[in-house]
Each structure stands twice: as C-alpha cells, then as structure tokens.
Structure 1
Amino acid sequence: MSTDPNCGVAHGDPAAPVTDRVLVAVFASPVAAALLRLGVECGYAPVLVEPGDREVEGLPVGTTRLAAVPDEPHADVVVCDHHRPELGEVLRDALATSTRWIGLMGNPRHEGPHVAALAALGVPADEVARVHRPIGLDIGSRAPGEIAVSTLAGLLADRNGRGGGPFGS
C-alpha cells in the first residue's frame, strides 16, 4: 500500500481541505468565468473584480463580486483583459494590497500595456515588475477553458514551488 497522499486522492480518498486560497479574476469575461470555475475545483474561493457593470455568464456559485482587488494575503490575482481603460488604476490599487501574486494575461511577444499605464500613474518600475507576464503554461491555449487551464496550472506550480514544465525538466 502506498503512503503517497496524492495516490490515495487519485483513488478516491478525500484530499486535505484547502482553506486559504483566494482566486481573483479581474474584469468580467468568458476566460474569467472559466478560470474561477476551475479555481473552485482546486480549492480557491472565487472572486470577480469588475469595476464596471459588465455581466458574465457561468460564474461558479458563491463567487464574490467586488469593484476592487481585496487586500487578501492568500490571493492570486489574474487580470483577464489587458485592453480595459481602467487597467492602470486597477493594477496600481492591486499592487498596494498584500496579495500573494498578481499576473496579467496577454501576448508575451509584446510589451504589456500595463507597463505604460502604470508608469503614467507614477508607479515605480520595481512595483511594475511585480506584475507577472506572461502567465500560465505555454500549451497553445485558444479557447477560454484552455486559457483557464494554462493559467491555473501556472498558479499552482508557483504556489507549490515548481517550474511548471514537463516532468523531469
């Protein structure tokens, strides 16, 4: 009989409860909804930050909806839309919180628009550097669910001190 707890979980033993994870998806979108649904499966409490009045379908039951990123030390914050005009202000305010991790989705081949937006607000370069980009694992994601899987896998790798690459690398 194996003493590996992960093996037992795979065979139906209950996993140790996770009670201190908060996943904050910023800006309502299909990707945000998919990310929060998968996050619940991984033990995260779901939070949607939407400073506007945009609606999104498919949020998990129990999602807390806020206008700003909460000051929560166990939170992982994922900005799901880098085209929103409020991007700079939302990130500036998020950087002022005690959140564990802040990341921004976007094409890694281009400088993120957050850099200029935060600089225009007077945010120092060392603070701007706290915003992770790119985020997630490079799996060629295209659909909202795939992007959510990639992003959540990257977050879990970071939380668990892993690089997120293939086994053996």
Structure 2
Amino acid sequence: MTDESDTCAVAHGERAAPGTDRALVAVFASPVARYLLRYARDVGFRVALLEPDAERARETDGAAPPVTSTASGLDENTDVVVTDHHRGELGTVLRDVLAQPVRWVGVLGNPRHEGPHVAALRELDVPQAEIDRVHRPIGLNIGSRTPPEIAVATIAGLLADRNGTDAGFLGRREAHA
C-alpha cells in the first residue's frame, strides 16, 4: 500500500510509478482499439491487439502494438476488451479467449440490448457460466460517444479496478441488475 507522500512524489515525477503485471488485449482492429491501446500503454499496461483477419491487421500500419491472430497464451493478468461486437468472428474469438485463464473480459456495446456475443457463444455450445464471465457494459459511465471518449471511459474503469476501487465501473456483475 502506498502512502500519500509516495503518490504525490509519483504525480510530480520525483519517483517512478510502481510497475504492474497487468496486460490489456484489445480484440479487433478498430478506432476504439487504437485509442484504447495507446492510453493503456500510457498508464502501464502491457498491450496487444488480437486481430484474426490478416488484412485488417495489416491496415494498422504498425500503429498497433504486437498483433496476434489467436487467443493463446493469455494469462491471469490479462484484461480483454472486444472493441467491435459486429464482427462475424465474435463468437469464436470470445470462446477461445474464455478458454484461457484471463482475469477479465468485456465487450463494448449498448447496455439496453443483449449483446450479440451471448447468442454467438450459445451457438458454439459455450456453457452459461463462461458466457457470464463476459462483462457488458464496460467502463465508467461518462456519456462517451466518440472512439477516444469510449477508450478513456474503458481505461478509467480498468484503472479503478486495478487500483481497488469500483468508482462506478460498469463492468462489475452487480451493475447489470
């Protein structure tokens, strides 16, 4: 636990921020993913893009961090954010992510409608307990509309969680009540 003087010293650049072993994997190349990965790196996450479509991965022009085409190798320190719920590969990618020991999985989307990931996972016979691991909505409720705003809200929620406070984080199970 850090005390107030440690926090102040870090904020003033007098001391390095403590390291973190957390990773963030954004699924699918998208405008939100681009901002999400940039901001996550800035706040100390190890970052990667999971993009199964080689053509879309090439379109990132190196702006993305390391790109992977599969969910293999994700661990208990990995948070996964699906940034496009309209992709045909949604179910298979999420099924593969859920087969890994990831810490947290979330899907962007309108909370007023059931996410398309639910039907996609059911079609693949993914058990309900695994489907329930997927959080939606995610991030802080700040009225985000643009890709950078959505990324800020998502990163803020992940930071609040990493720092041990819920701060209105929408990705918690009880927020779905």
TM-score in terms of structure 2 length: 0.86
Structure 2 match to 1:152: 155
Using the aligned pairs only, state the percent identity: 59
Alignment correspondent of 1:50: 51
Match of 1:64 in 2: 66
Q: CA 1:14–1:94 in 2, change beyond 3 Å: closer, same or farther?
A: same
Return the offset for 1:3: 4.6
**Residues 23, 44 of structure 1: 8 Å contact kept:** yes
Distance 2:63 2:45 in 1: 13
Q: Give the AA of the match of 1:125.
A: Q
Counterpart mapping for 1:6-155 below 5 A: 6-52=7-53, 53-54=55-56, 55-56=59-60, 59=63, 63-69=65-71, 70-155=73-158
* 1:61-120 deviation digits (Å, cap 9, x = unpaired): xx1100022322211100000000000000000000011111000000100001000001
CA separation of 1:4/1:21 partners in 2, compared to 1, >3 Å: closer, same or farther?
same
Structure 1 portions without partners, runs of 5+:
none
* Paired residues, number: 163
Q: Which amino acid aligns with 1:28?
A: A
Instruction: Say whether the 8 Å CA contact 2:39–2:151 is kept in structure 1.
Output: yes
**Superposition CA RMSD, Å:** 1.8
Do the aligned residues in 2 keep the contact of 1:33 with 1:58 (CA within 8 Å)? no
Distance 1:3 1:159 in 2: 18
So what's the TM-score if we normalise by structure 1? Answer: 0.90
Q: Which has the higher helix share?
A: 2
